Chains A and B, each alone.
Chain A
Protein backbone atom coordinates (compact mmCIF):
# COMPACT_ATOMS: atom_id res chain seq x y z
CA UNK A 1 0.00 0.00 0.00
CA UNK A 2 1.46 3.33 -1.04
CA UNK A 3 0.02 6.56 0.33
CA UNK A 4 2.70 8.83 -1.09
CA UNK A 5 2.09 11.67 -3.50
CA UNK A 6 4.25 12.09 -6.58
CA UNK A 7 6.88 14.83 -6.58
CA UNK A 8 4.87 16.62 -9.30
CA UNK A 9 1.74 16.58 -7.13
CA UNK A 10 3.64 17.84 -4.10
CA UNK A 11 5.30 20.57 -6.15
CA UNK A 12 1.88 21.63 -7.44
CA UNK A 13 0.51 21.77 -3.90
CA UNK A 14 3.50 23.90 -2.83
CA UNK A 15 2.90 26.22 -5.81
CA UNK A 16 -0.74 26.65 -4.82
CA UNK A 17 0.21 27.37 -1.22
CA UNK A 18 2.61 30.10 -2.39
CA UNK A 19 -0.08 31.50 -4.70
CA UNK A 20 -2.67 31.55 -1.92
CA UNK A 21 -0.25 33.02 0.63
CA UNK A 22 0.61 35.77 -1.82
CA UNK A 23 -2.99 36.56 -2.66
CA UNK A 24 -5.37 35.41 0.07
CA UNK A 25 -3.58 35.79 3.38
CA UNK A 26 -5.39 38.91 4.55
CA UNK A 27 -8.01 38.41 7.28
CA UNK A 28 -11.21 38.69 5.15
CA UNK A 29 -12.97 39.87 8.32
CA UNK A 30 -14.64 42.82 6.58
CA UNK A 31 -15.82 40.68 3.65
CA UNK A 32 -17.11 38.08 6.12
CA UNK A 33 -18.98 40.62 8.23
CA UNK A 34 -20.44 42.41 5.24
CA UNK A 35 -21.11 39.16 3.33
CA UNK A 36 -19.32 40.38 0.23
CA UNK A 37 -18.07 38.29 -2.64
CA UNK A 38 -14.79 39.46 -4.22
CA UNK A 39 -14.90 38.68 -7.90
CA UNK A 40 -11.26 39.72 -8.33
CA UNK A 41 -10.19 36.79 -6.12
CA UNK A 42 -12.26 34.40 -8.21
CA UNK A 43 -10.56 35.74 -11.33
CA UNK A 44 -7.11 35.32 -9.78
CA UNK A 45 -7.87 31.63 -9.16
CA UNK A 46 -9.12 31.28 -12.73
CA UNK A 47 -5.97 32.93 -14.11
CA UNK A 48 -3.86 30.57 -12.01
CA UNK A 49 -5.69 27.67 -13.67
CA UNK A 50 -7.57 26.31 -10.67
CA UNK A 51 -10.98 26.41 -12.34
CA UNK A 52 -9.56 24.26 -15.12
CA UNK A 53 -8.98 21.26 -12.86
CA UNK A 54 -12.39 19.74 -13.62
CA UNK A 55 -12.24 20.36 -17.36
CA UNK A 56 -10.07 19.04 -20.16
CA UNK A 57 -7.76 21.20 -22.30
CA UNK A 58 -10.04 20.92 -25.33
CA UNK A 59 -12.53 23.12 -23.45
CA UNK A 60 -10.21 25.52 -21.67
CA UNK A 61 -9.30 23.18 -18.83
CA UNK A 62 -6.03 22.24 -17.20
CA UNK A 63 -5.33 18.65 -18.25
CA UNK A 64 -5.98 16.05 -20.93
CA UNK A 65 -7.84 13.94 -18.42
CA UNK A 66 -9.52 15.14 -15.22
CA UNK A 67 -7.24 14.02 -12.40
CA UNK A 68 -9.07 13.72 -9.10
CA UNK A 69 -5.96 13.01 -7.03
CA UNK A 70 -4.20 16.15 -8.24
CA UNK A 71 -7.39 18.16 -7.81
CA UNK A 72 -7.71 16.91 -4.24
CA UNK A 73 -4.16 17.82 -3.24
CA UNK A 74 -4.51 21.17 -5.01
CA UNK A 75 -7.61 22.01 -3.00
CA UNK A 76 -5.94 20.89 0.20
CA UNK A 77 -3.18 23.41 -0.55
CA UNK A 78 -5.67 26.17 -1.30
CA UNK A 79 -7.68 25.42 1.84
CA UNK A 80 -4.49 25.50 3.89
CA UNK A 81 -3.23 28.87 2.77
CA UNK A 82 -6.38 30.79 1.80
CA UNK A 83 -7.79 32.68 4.79
CA UNK A 84 -11.22 32.72 3.17
CA UNK A 85 -12.77 29.24 3.50
CA UNK A 86 -15.58 30.40 1.23
CA UNK A 87 -13.39 30.77 -1.84
CA UNK A 88 -12.28 27.11 -2.18
CA UNK A 89 -15.85 26.03 -1.37
CA UNK A 90 -17.35 28.17 -4.13
CA UNK A 91 -14.68 27.27 -6.71
CA UNK A 92 -15.30 23.59 -6.11
CA UNK A 93 -19.07 23.98 -6.24
CA UNK A 94 -18.76 25.37 -9.75
CA UNK A 95 -16.01 23.01 -10.90
CA UNK A 96 -17.64 19.76 -9.85
CA UNK A 97 -21.36 20.44 -9.87
CA UNK A 98 -21.54 22.61 -12.99
CA UNK A 99 -18.44 22.23 -15.19
CA UNK A 100 -17.90 18.51 -14.64
CA UNK A 101 -21.51 17.49 -15.45
CA UNK A 102 -21.32 19.60 -18.63
CA UNK A 103 -18.01 17.94 -19.53
CA UNK A 104 -19.47 14.48 -18.92
CA UNK A 105 -22.98 14.87 -20.31
CA UNK A 106 -22.87 17.95 -22.53
CA UNK A 107 -23.14 18.13 -26.30
CA UNK A 108 -20.11 19.44 -28.17
CA UNK A 109 -21.86 22.80 -28.61
CA UNK A 110 -22.68 23.03 -24.88
CA UNK A 111 -19.10 22.21 -23.88
CA UNK A 112 -17.69 24.78 -26.30
CA UNK A 113 -20.12 27.47 -25.23
CA UNK A 114 -19.94 27.12 -21.45
CA UNK A 115 -16.72 25.46 -20.31
CA UNK A 116 -14.00 27.85 -21.57
CA UNK A 117 -15.81 30.84 -20.09
CA UNK A 118 -16.24 29.14 -16.73
CA UNK A 119 -12.58 28.03 -16.69
CA UNK A 120 -11.44 31.57 -17.47
CA UNK A 121 -13.62 33.06 -14.75
CA UNK A 122 -15.65 35.13 -17.19
CA UNK A 123 -18.82 33.25 -16.34
CA UNK A 124 -19.84 31.84 -12.97
CA UNK A 125 -21.99 28.73 -12.75
CA UNK A 126 -24.29 27.34 -10.06
CA UNK A 127 -26.15 24.09 -9.44
CA UNK A 128 -29.85 24.23 -8.59
CA UNK A 129 -31.26 21.10 -7.01
CA UNK A 130 -32.71 22.04 -3.60
CA UNK A 131 -36.23 23.46 -3.31
CA UNK A 132 -38.37 24.80 -0.46
CA UNK A 133 -40.14 21.41 -0.14
CA UNK A 134 -37.32 19.18 -1.36
CA UNK A 135 -34.06 19.19 0.61
CA UNK A 136 -32.76 15.82 1.77
CA UNK A 137 -35.60 14.18 -0.13
CA UNK A 138 -34.45 16.05 -3.21
CA UNK A 139 -36.00 13.80 -5.82
CA UNK A 140 -39.44 14.74 -4.52
CA UNK A 141 -38.83 18.13 -6.18
CA UNK A 142 -41.78 20.08 -7.47
CA UNK A 143 -40.15 22.09 -10.22
CA UNK A 144 -41.44 21.06 -13.64
CA UNK A 145 -40.16 21.26 -17.18
CA UNK A 146 -43.12 20.91 -19.53
CA UNK A 147 -42.40 19.95 -23.13
CA UNK A 148 -43.42 22.55 -25.67
CA UNK A 149 -42.48 23.08 -29.30
CA UNK A 150 -38.67 23.38 -29.52
CA UNK A 151 -38.01 23.20 -25.81
CA UNK A 152 -39.43 23.20 -22.29
CA UNK A 153 -41.19 25.62 -19.95
CA UNK A 154 -39.60 25.65 -16.49
CA UNK A 155 -41.76 26.48 -13.48
CA UNK A 156 -40.74 26.36 -9.83
CA UNK A 157 -38.35 27.63 -7.16
CA UNK A 158 -34.85 26.62 -6.12
CA UNK A 159 -33.38 27.65 -2.77
CA UNK A 160 -30.05 27.74 -0.93
CA UNK A 161 -28.13 27.86 -4.21
CA UNK A 162 -24.42 28.62 -3.83
CA UNK A 163 -23.34 31.52 -6.07
CA UNK A 164 -26.84 31.99 -7.53
CA UNK A 165 -26.95 35.80 -7.00
CA UNK A 166 -23.76 36.32 -9.06
CA UNK A 167 -24.07 33.44 -11.52
CA UNK A 168 -24.26 33.63 -15.30
CA UNK A 169 -25.07 29.95 -15.90
CA UNK A 170 -27.56 27.85 -13.93
CA UNK A 171 -27.70 24.05 -14.01
CA UNK A 172 -31.30 23.38 -13.10
CA UNK A 173 -33.00 20.10 -12.20
CA UNK A 174 -36.70 19.77 -13.03
CA UNK A 175 -39.25 17.03 -13.54
CA UNK A 176 -39.97 16.23 -17.17
CA UNK A 177 -42.05 13.22 -16.17
CA UNK A 178 -43.38 13.68 -12.61
CA UNK A 179 -44.87 10.15 -12.55
CA UNK A 180 -41.38 8.60 -12.68
CA UNK A 181 -40.02 10.22 -9.48
CA UNK A 182 -36.18 10.31 -9.46
CA UNK A 183 -36.14 8.81 -12.97
CA UNK A 184 -38.24 11.56 -14.47
CA UNK A 185 -35.85 14.40 -13.64
CA UNK A 186 -33.92 16.23 -16.38
CA UNK A 187 -31.29 18.93 -16.27
CA UNK A 188 -31.24 22.24 -18.11
CA UNK A 189 -28.55 24.83 -18.68
CA UNK A 190 -30.18 28.20 -18.14
CA UNK A 191 -28.54 31.48 -19.12
CA UNK A 192 -28.71 34.49 -16.82
CA UNK A 193 -30.88 36.73 -18.98
CA UNK A 194 -33.51 34.13 -19.81
CA UNK A 195 -37.02 35.55 -19.64
CA UNK A 196 -38.99 34.15 -16.70
CA UNK A 197 -35.93 33.61 -14.46
CA UNK A 198 -35.76 35.75 -11.32
CA UNK A 199 -32.49 35.68 -9.40
CA UNK A 200 -32.87 36.36 -5.69
CA UNK A 201 -30.59 38.59 -3.62
CA UNK A 202 -27.76 37.23 -1.51
CA UNK A 203 -29.11 35.72 1.73
CA UNK A 204 -26.46 36.22 4.43
CA UNK A 205 -25.81 33.10 6.44
CA UNK A 206 -23.95 31.84 9.52
CA UNK A 207 -20.68 30.95 7.77
CA UNK A 208 -19.09 30.90 4.32
CA UNK A 209 -20.39 34.44 4.23
CA UNK A 210 -18.16 35.58 1.35
CA UNK A 211 -20.05 33.16 -0.89
CA UNK A 212 -23.33 34.52 -2.24
CA UNK A 213 -26.27 32.22 -1.70
CA UNK A 214 -29.80 32.67 -2.93
CA UNK A 215 -33.09 31.59 -4.45
CA UNK A 216 -34.13 31.25 -8.06
CA UNK A 217 -37.67 31.49 -9.38
CA UNK A 218 -38.75 30.23 -12.77
CA UNK A 219 -42.04 31.29 -14.31
CA UNK A 220 -42.81 29.91 -17.76
CA UNK A 221 -39.12 30.15 -18.46
CA UNK A 222 -38.51 28.81 -21.99
CA UNK A 223 -35.40 26.66 -22.42
CA UNK A 224 -34.56 25.31 -25.88
CA UNK A 225 -34.06 21.56 -26.43
CA UNK A 226 -30.41 22.33 -27.18
CA UNK A 227 -29.99 23.47 -23.58
CA UNK A 228 -31.13 20.20 -22.01
CA UNK A 229 -28.07 18.50 -20.51
CA UNK A 230 -27.99 14.80 -21.38
CA UNK A 231 -31.09 12.83 -22.22
CA UNK A 232 -34.53 13.31 -20.70
CA UNK A 233 -34.54 11.57 -17.31
CA UNK A 234 -30.75 11.81 -16.86
CA UNK A 235 -31.05 13.96 -13.71
CA UNK A 236 -30.33 11.12 -11.31
CA UNK A 237 -27.26 10.00 -13.25
CA UNK A 238 -25.97 13.56 -13.56
CA UNK A 239 -26.20 14.21 -9.81
CA UNK A 240 -24.57 10.92 -8.96
CA UNK A 241 -21.75 11.10 -11.47
CA UNK A 242 -20.21 14.20 -9.93
CA UNK A 243 -21.12 13.67 -6.28
CA UNK A 244 -17.99 11.78 -5.24
CA UNK A 245 -15.65 14.17 -7.08
CA UNK A 246 -17.43 17.09 -5.45
CA UNK A 247 -17.07 15.49 -2.02
CA UNK A 248 -13.33 14.86 -2.46
CA UNK A 249 -12.46 18.36 -3.55
CA UNK A 250 -14.79 20.47 -1.39
CA UNK A 251 -13.74 18.47 1.63
CA UNK A 252 -10.06 18.68 0.61
CA UNK A 253 -10.30 22.46 0.99
CA UNK A 254 -11.62 21.92 4.50
CA UNK A 255 -8.90 19.41 5.28
CA UNK A 256 -6.33 22.07 4.36
CA UNK A 257 -8.10 24.52 6.67
CA UNK A 258 -8.03 21.91 9.47
CA UNK A 259 -4.30 21.43 8.99
CA UNK A 260 -3.67 25.17 9.30
CA UNK A 261 -6.02 25.35 12.28
CA UNK A 262 -4.02 22.63 14.04
CA UNK A 263 -0.69 24.37 13.37
CA UNK A 264 -2.03 27.68 14.64
CA UNK A 265 -3.48 26.03 17.73
CA UNK A 266 -0.20 24.28 18.56
CA UNK A 267 1.73 27.53 18.15
CA UNK A 268 -0.73 29.35 20.41
CA UNK A 269 -0.87 26.79 23.24
CA UNK A 270 2.94 26.56 23.35
CA UNK A 271 3.21 30.30 23.65
CA UNK A 272 0.33 31.21 25.95
CA UNK A 273 1.26 30.98 29.64
CA UNK A 274 -1.02 30.58 32.64
CA UNK A 275 0.01 29.50 36.16
CA UNK A 276 3.61 30.23 35.04
CA UNK A 277 3.74 27.61 32.31
CA UNK A 278 2.64 27.17 28.72
CA UNK A 279 -0.97 25.96 28.61
CA UNK A 280 0.23 23.10 26.33
CA UNK A 281 1.57 21.52 29.52
CA UNK A 282 -1.94 21.07 30.88
CA UNK A 283 -3.15 17.68 29.82
CA UNK A 284 -6.67 18.99 29.16
CA UNK A 285 -5.16 21.18 26.43
CA UNK A 286 -2.64 18.71 24.99
CA UNK A 287 -5.29 15.97 24.77
CA UNK A 288 -7.60 18.33 22.96
CA UNK A 289 -4.84 19.02 20.44
CA UNK A 290 -4.21 15.27 20.14
CA UNK A 291 -7.90 14.79 19.31
CA UNK A 292 -7.60 17.48 16.62
CA UNK A 293 -4.61 15.66 15.13
CA UNK A 294 -6.44 12.34 15.13
CA UNK A 295 -9.46 13.89 13.40
CA UNK A 296 -7.16 15.39 10.77
CA UNK A 297 -5.52 12.03 10.13
CA UNK A 298 -8.70 9.95 9.95
CA UNK A 299 -10.29 12.54 7.67
CA UNK A 300 -7.22 12.61 5.42
CA UNK A 301 -7.08 8.82 5.13
CA UNK A 302 -10.72 8.63 4.11
CA UNK A 303 -10.27 11.47 1.64
CA UNK A 304 -7.26 9.82 0.06
CA UNK A 305 -9.09 6.52 -0.17
CA UNK A 306 -12.09 8.03 -1.96
CA UNK A 307 -9.89 10.06 -4.32
CA UNK A 308 -7.84 6.95 -5.06
CA UNK A 309 -10.94 4.81 -5.69
CA UNK A 310 -12.29 7.45 -8.09
CA UNK A 311 -8.93 7.74 -9.83
CA UNK A 312 -9.10 3.98 -10.42
CA UNK A 313 -12.62 4.35 -11.84
CA UNK A 314 -14.08 2.39 -8.93
CA UNK A 315 -17.32 3.11 -7.06
CA UNK A 316 -16.97 4.78 -3.66
CA UNK A 317 -20.53 5.14 -2.38
CA UNK A 318 -19.86 3.83 1.12
CA UNK A 319 -16.43 5.41 1.43
CA UNK A 320 -17.58 8.82 0.25
CA UNK A 321 -20.52 8.82 2.69
CA UNK A 322 -18.09 7.97 5.52
CA UNK A 323 -15.70 10.67 4.29
CA UNK A 324 -18.40 13.34 4.14
CA UNK A 325 -19.61 12.43 7.63
CA UNK A 326 -16.18 12.13 9.23
CA UNK A 327 -14.49 15.17 7.70
CA UNK A 328 -17.36 17.61 8.11
CA UNK A 329 -18.12 16.58 11.70
CA UNK A 330 -14.38 16.61 12.46
CA UNK A 331 -14.02 20.16 11.17
CA UNK A 332 -16.88 21.28 13.42
CA UNK A 333 -15.46 19.46 16.47
CA UNK A 334 -11.89 20.67 15.87
CA UNK A 335 -13.04 24.24 15.27
CA UNK A 336 -14.77 24.20 18.64
CA UNK A 337 -11.65 22.68 20.23
CA UNK A 338 -9.50 25.40 18.63
CA UNK A 339 -11.75 28.03 20.26
CA UNK A 340 -11.56 26.26 23.62
CA UNK A 341 -7.74 26.16 23.42
CA UNK A 342 -7.63 29.87 22.56
CA UNK A 343 -9.98 30.85 25.39
CA UNK A 344 -11.53 34.33 25.04
CA UNK A 345 -9.14 35.11 22.18
CA UNK A 346 -10.75 32.35 20.14
CA UNK A 347 -14.17 33.93 20.57
CA UNK A 348 -13.08 37.35 19.34
CA UNK A 349 -13.59 37.85 15.62
CA UNK A 350 -10.35 39.74 14.92
CA UNK A 351 -8.21 36.65 15.62
CA UNK A 352 -9.92 34.63 12.90
CA UNK A 353 -10.39 31.53 15.08
CA UNK A 354 -14.17 31.58 15.52
CA UNK A 355 -14.81 31.92 11.82
CA UNK A 356 -13.73 28.34 11.11
CA UNK A 357 -16.52 27.05 13.33
CA UNK A 358 -19.15 29.10 11.52
CA UNK A 359 -17.77 28.00 8.15
CA UNK A 360 -17.55 24.35 9.22
CA UNK A 361 -21.23 24.05 10.14
CA UNK A 362 -22.31 24.45 6.49
CA UNK A 363 -20.49 21.24 5.62
CA UNK A 364 -22.63 19.09 7.93
CA UNK A 365 -25.64 20.28 5.93
CA UNK A 366 -24.81 20.71 2.23
CA UNK A 367 -24.46 17.81 -0.22
CA UNK A 368 -26.38 15.54 2.16
CA UNK A 369 -26.62 16.20 5.90
CA UNK A 370 -24.74 14.03 8.40
CA UNK A 371 -28.00 12.17 9.14
CA UNK A 372 -28.35 11.34 5.46
CA UNK A 373 -24.74 10.09 5.30
CA UNK A 374 -25.48 7.79 8.25
CA UNK A 375 -28.61 6.56 6.44
CA UNK A 376 -26.49 5.74 3.38
CA UNK A 377 -23.87 3.93 5.44
CA UNK A 378 -26.53 1.96 7.33
CA UNK A 379 -28.34 1.08 4.12
CA UNK A 380 -25.11 -0.13 2.53
CA UNK A 381 -24.60 -2.34 5.56
CA UNK A 382 -27.93 -3.93 4.81
CA UNK A 383 -29.82 -2.24 7.66
Chain B
Protein backbone atom coordinates (compact mmCIF):
# COMPACT_ATOMS: atom_id res chain seq x y z
CA UNK B 1 0.00 0.00 0.00
CA UNK B 2 2.91 2.33 0.87
CA UNK B 3 4.42 2.13 -2.63
CA UNK B 4 1.01 2.55 -4.28
CA UNK B 5 0.29 5.72 -2.29
CA UNK B 6 3.76 7.21 -2.77
CA UNK B 7 3.53 6.54 -6.47
CA UNK B 8 0.04 8.04 -6.84
CA UNK B 9 0.82 11.18 -4.83
CA UNK B 10 4.03 11.69 -6.81
CA UNK B 11 1.94 11.48 -10.00
CA UNK B 12 -0.49 14.04 -8.59
CA UNK B 13 2.34 16.55 -8.16
CA UNK B 14 3.20 16.13 -11.86
CA UNK B 15 6.72 15.11 -10.89
CA UNK B 16 7.41 18.60 -9.51
CA UNK B 17 9.02 17.41 -6.28
CA UNK B 18 12.71 18.25 -5.79
CA UNK B 19 13.39 14.99 -3.94
CA UNK B 20 11.52 11.68 -4.03
CA UNK B 21 8.46 11.61 -1.77
CA UNK B 22 8.89 9.74 1.52
CA UNK B 23 6.34 8.37 3.98
CA UNK B 24 7.23 11.15 6.43
CA UNK B 25 6.81 14.14 4.10
CA UNK B 26 4.13 16.60 5.23
CA UNK B 27 1.60 16.39 2.38
CA UNK B 28 -0.74 19.12 3.56
CA UNK B 29 1.39 21.71 5.37
CA UNK B 30 4.00 21.72 2.60
CA UNK B 31 1.34 22.09 -0.10
CA UNK B 32 2.23 18.80 -1.85
CA UNK B 33 -1.52 18.17 -1.83
CA UNK B 34 -3.91 21.07 -2.36
CA UNK B 35 -7.71 20.83 -2.14
CA UNK B 36 -8.11 19.15 -5.51
CA UNK B 37 -5.17 16.84 -4.87
CA UNK B 38 -6.81 15.78 -1.62
CA UNK B 39 -10.14 15.07 -3.34
CA UNK B 40 -8.34 13.00 -5.97
CA UNK B 41 -6.40 11.07 -3.32
CA UNK B 42 -9.57 10.23 -1.37
CA UNK B 43 -11.29 9.10 -4.55
CA UNK B 44 -8.21 7.03 -5.52
CA UNK B 45 -8.16 5.26 -2.16
CA UNK B 46 -11.88 4.56 -2.41
CA UNK B 47 -11.84 3.22 -5.93
CA UNK B 48 -8.40 1.61 -6.27
CA UNK B 49 -8.04 0.30 -2.72
CA UNK B 50 -11.77 -0.40 -2.29
CA UNK B 51 -11.99 1.42 1.04
CA UNK B 52 -14.61 3.86 2.24
CA UNK B 53 -13.44 7.12 3.78
CA UNK B 54 -16.24 8.88 5.66
CA UNK B 55 -16.05 12.66 5.20
CA UNK B 56 -15.62 13.19 8.95
CA UNK B 57 -12.32 11.29 8.81
CA UNK B 58 -10.72 13.66 6.30
CA UNK B 59 -8.62 15.42 8.90
CA UNK B 60 -4.98 16.39 9.10
CA UNK B 61 -4.31 13.75 11.75
CA UNK B 62 -5.28 11.05 9.24
CA UNK B 63 -3.75 12.53 6.09
CA UNK B 64 -0.67 14.54 7.08
CA UNK B 65 1.86 12.04 5.73
CA UNK B 66 1.73 8.73 3.89
CA UNK B 67 2.56 7.11 7.23
CA UNK B 68 -0.51 8.75 8.81
CA UNK B 69 -2.70 7.57 5.91
CA UNK B 70 -1.49 3.98 6.25
CA UNK B 71 -2.06 4.00 10.03
CA UNK B 72 -5.53 5.44 9.52
CA UNK B 73 -6.47 2.96 6.77
CA UNK B 74 -5.29 0.06 8.93
CA UNK B 75 -7.63 1.12 11.72
CA UNK B 76 -10.72 1.41 9.52
Contact = CB atoms under 8 A, between A and B. Distances in A.
A114 to B, nearest CB: 17
B14 A183 contact: no
Contact of A376 (B36, B42, B56, B58): B36
Interface residues of A, number: 24
Contact of B59 (A237, A376, A379, A380): A237
Nearest to B55: A241
B31 to A, nearest CB: 8
A181 interface: yes
Interface residues of B, number: 18
Contact of B39 (A105, A317, A382): A317
A379 B36 CA distance: 8
Interface in B18-76: 28-29, 35-36, 38-40, 42-43, 46, 55-61
Contacts of B61: 233
Contact of A230 (B28, B46, B56): B56
A382 B59 CA distance: 25
Contacts of B55: 104-105, 237-238, 240-241
A237 B56 contact: yes
Nearest to A180: B60
A379 B43 CA distance: 16
Nearest to B57: A237
Interface in A30-64: none
A94 to B, nearest CB: 20
Given A231-B56, A315-B43, A181 B29 contact: yes
Contacts of B28: 180-183
Contact of B36 (A181, A184, A231, A317): A317
Of the listed residues B29, B42, B46, B59, the one surrounded by the most CB atoms of chain A closer than 10 A to its CB is B59
A104 B56 CA distance: 8
A237 B43 CA distance: 13
Contacts of B58: 234, 236-237, 240
Given A236-B35, A382-B14, A183 B56 contact: no
A180 B29 CA distance: 6
Contacts of B36: 317, 376, 379-380
A188 to B, nearest CB: 16
Nearest to A315: B43
Contacts of B42: 315
Contact of A182 (B35, B40, B43, B46): B35
Contacts of A237: 55-59
Contacts of A376: 36
A134 B19 CA distance: 33
Interface in A220-270: 230-231, 233-234, 236-238, 240-241
Nearest to B46: A315
Nearest to B60: A183
Interface of A: 104-105, 139, 179-184, 230-231, 233-234, 236-238, 240-241, 315, 317, 376, 379-380, 382
24 contacts: A105-B55, A105-B56, A180-B28, A180-B29, A180-B60, A183-B59, A184-B60, A230-B56, A231-B59, A233-B59, A234-B59, A236-B35, A236-B38, A236-B58, A237-B55, A238-B55, A240-B35, A241-B55, A315-B39, A315-B42, A315-B46, A317-B39, A376-B36, A379-B36
Given A237-B55, A317-B43, 9 more contacts: A105-B55, A105-B56, A180-B60, A182-B35, A183-B59, A184-B60, A233-B61, A234-B56, A237-B56
